[in-house]
Amino acid sequence: MDKYGLIGYPLGHSFSISYFNQKFADEGIDAVYENFEIASIDLLPEVLDMNPNLKGLNVTIPYKQKVMQFLDNISPEARAIGAVNVIKVKHEGKNIKLTGYNSDVIGFTKSIEPMLERFHKKALILGTGGASKAIDYGLKSLGLETVFVSRYERPDTIQFEKITPEVVQEYNVIVNCTPLGMYPHTDECPLLPYEAMDNRTILYDLIYNPDETLFMKRGAAKGANVKNGLEMLLLQAFASWEFWHEK
């Protein structure tokens, strides 16, 4: 039986394990998906040794960057972003070849692209954590100019308090890559001039619990087009499966 899994620490309830095991059951695939909660990325070789039927892994926090040192090959997108969240495990005799990919970009671009109109030329990326780099890469690949927004003074970023109504009208695609508004803190949202938004504004939230964050609600009240991160998550899972089965 083939095995797939998720490495990270800590691992609570993960979307991947329920999604893939349901997929295997529905499609009659002789495989299982497991969580590998490892306290250090240095335990990855041990996971590989103990699971000789492992064909692929997903990677989550805090190992998306640290895992790269263990890989034999890294896709151009993952290298440019500086993070890997999918690994193909290939057995060649006694040797194991590991190839890293980033499915965040595919999931995000396929999800946001249908929302874009010709007047969407500039985007604000809220947050500077791991996911924000993939979002930046994805938006640029769709032809948008991007600016990172941070709470702190950092090179090539602007601060939340400096975002004026004029900035929101110029940068009319806004992607939330922060945890603000995630359950159970549903009464929080990024500090923005929501009153400047209208039906030319897109608010995309990587959060999918709750279905509609306060960020989305406040934008929608002004006519903005809003979307959460659930479809991106599903598209990432599809992409993982494609990467694992690439010839």
For residue 100, the cross-strand partners are 74, 87
| Main-chain dihedrals φ then ψ at residue 192, nearest 5 degrees | -140, 155
Is 64 assigned a catalytic role?
Answer: yes
User: Which residue, among 166, 118, 112, 159, has the nearest Cα to 139 in the 3D structure?
Assistant: 112
Q: Is 112 helix (H, G, I), strand (E, B) or coil?
A: helix
Dist CA 136 CA 97 (whole Å): 29
Long-range contacts of 152-160 (CB under 8 A, 24+ apart): 154/128, 157/128, 160/126, 160/190, 160/191, 160/192
* Catalytic residue (choose from 3, 23, 55, 64): 64
Kindly list the catalytic residues. Answer: 64
